[in-house]
Copies of this chain bind each other. A is one copy, B any other.
């Protein structure tokens, strides 16, 4: 499990993402993963401790990427509004570029009992804390309403995005052709920022 074999380890992870996305974690066989990856059955167990570990590794590594991205956004940009927009944008584009990974992250990971370990929550919560921190800065600068908890705001933001993407993934009545992702993203941002109530003059 050293750092040297990144390539093969990465090959297995990619194969696992593909397989999990197609069949769901529980319906996926470890044999499916190894054959998709083009490696021997046993090789899975050189790089991962168990099927569980593969799923949670996907979460850890990809969620860390999201977290890194958020941190970079906070360093690069200056306006909280821009930051939140960019994060939402990044999540939507992540779905577009790798829908499979997003399916796994949204559907398989949080369904899995082993996901709910303290360490995983620390990582999971780190994202919400970053988002909340951005929000709090917005409040400090007088840009965002003061009577809302930054953490609740982060849940509202992520929840709106997550649920919408879930429709693209699973809702047979809802797809990119009929309702372009770009448009959805824009409207989500609009609702979150301005609310849906018409501003009384």
Query: Chain A interface (Cβ within 8 Å of chain B)?
Result: 23-24, 26-27, 81, 107-108, 110-111, 113, 116, 118, 121, 125, 135, 138, 142-145, 147-149, 151-153, 155-156, 158-164, 166-167, 170-174, 179, 183-184, 187-188, 190-199
Return A111 CB to nearest CB of chain B, in Å.
Answer: 4
How far apart sit A54 and B172, CA to CA, in the bound complex (Å)? 23
Per assembly, the copies of the chain total 4
* Sample (19) of A-B pairs whose CB atoms are under 8 Å apart: A24-B111, A26-B113, A107-B110, A110-B111, A110-B166, A121-B171, A125-B171, A138-B196, A145-B194, A148-B196, A149-B179, A149-B183, A151-B179, A155-B163, A155-B167, A155-B188, A156-B191, A156-B192, A194-B195
Return A126 CB to nearest CB of chain B, in Å.
Answer: 11
B residues in contact with A113, CB < 8 Å? 23-24, 26-27
In this complex, what residue of B is CB-closest to A124?
Answer: B171
B residues in contact with A26, CB < 8 Å? 26, 111, 113
Given A159-B161, A159-B164, residue A173 in contact with residue B143 (CB < 8 A): no
A144 touches B199 (CB 8 A): no
